[in-house]
Homo-oligomer: A and B are copies of this chain.
């Protein structure tokens, strides 16, 4: 990586765009598999895992070997700024409330002239304006499609299909675990069983309160409000009602009458101020979010120029998180300096 502001020369013929992959859990491993499967023009030159060490190799790391589970030579990675990489891919586990240590990694990378792609909500929900400013200052990109709802088109949609449009309101389902629980309740499956199911699949976290109490949804609503509606919220500004036994009972009752209860975020402008909420809401079959069932997610955008636009992602897996990262990487690589 060259010093700030100077153009960087890459040897695309050999290495492609060089990635530092921070985090090698479910998402990092899914991304590694997808990079191999798609032969996308990227080359991982630094990689760190939670408990199996780290590795740096400017000539590129053999992902097949790493996926096979070998322990890595380094105890910890050198500082971000000295890595031989063009893009930091930040998918480390983190404290969802503070966004650390991911936030620090992202700051370091942007300051060192690297682009950043992250799947971590915390840093974007807490510090979008700062990071966006830092990226602009260093003429680099920070991309975070995967933070919202796997590869549901949100920020890519905004940039490509909704330019110049003003978004006046957003409604949506952005929490897989909660939607699974309420969908299961509609089918008569007990709350605890549905939650255990989501945990077994690795979708709900070990401590499910982050989902059930709406902290996860509040972070996502904050990102949507700040990035797409020019608001300046923190997650604590989002009013929350929990997804609990009572909501599950309501979901069961609604289903018996042809309705569905969905875990909804709602963001709107009231008296010039953006307000956001999360909670269980009863929907009728003519609601565009009615059929967004189980682990599926979806958003409804109210806009001036484009009217009402809806996007949905049905039955996503961890591969769809990896794919969101890959789309961000492809966008960045299209804007990378050519050799």
Contacts and interface: CB of A to CB of B under 8 A. Distances in A.
A326 B305 contact: yes
A314 B305 contact: no
A160 B161 contact: yes
A327 interface: yes
Contacts of A7: none
A163 B330 contact: yes
Nearest to A153: B161
A156 B165 contact: no
Interface in A295-325: 298, 305-317, 319-320, 323
**Shortest Cβ-Cβ A-B pairs, 8 listed:** A160-B160, A153-B161, A310-B312, A285-B285, A308-B314, A156-B160, A156-B161, A305-B323
A291 interface: yes
Contact of A161 (B157, B162, B315, B319): B157
A160 B331 contact: yes
Contacts of A311: 153, 309-312
Nearest to A152: B309
A164 interface: yes
A298 B307 CA distance: 14
Contacts of A163: 326-327, 330
Given A160-B160, A161-B151, A290-B290, A310 B327 contact: no
Interface in A246-301: 258, 285-288, 290-293, 298
Given A291-B287, A307-B314, A314-B308, A330 B161 contact: no
Interface in A140-158: 151-153, 156-157
A315 B309 CA distance: 10
B313 A307 contact: yes
Contacts of A315: 307-308
Nearest to A298: B310
Nearest to A323: B305
A74 interface: no
A227 interface: no
Nearest to A292: B288
Contacts of A58: none
A194 interface: no
A10 to B, nearest CB: 20
A40 interface: yes
A313 B288 CA distance: 10
A159 interface: yes
A38 interface: yes
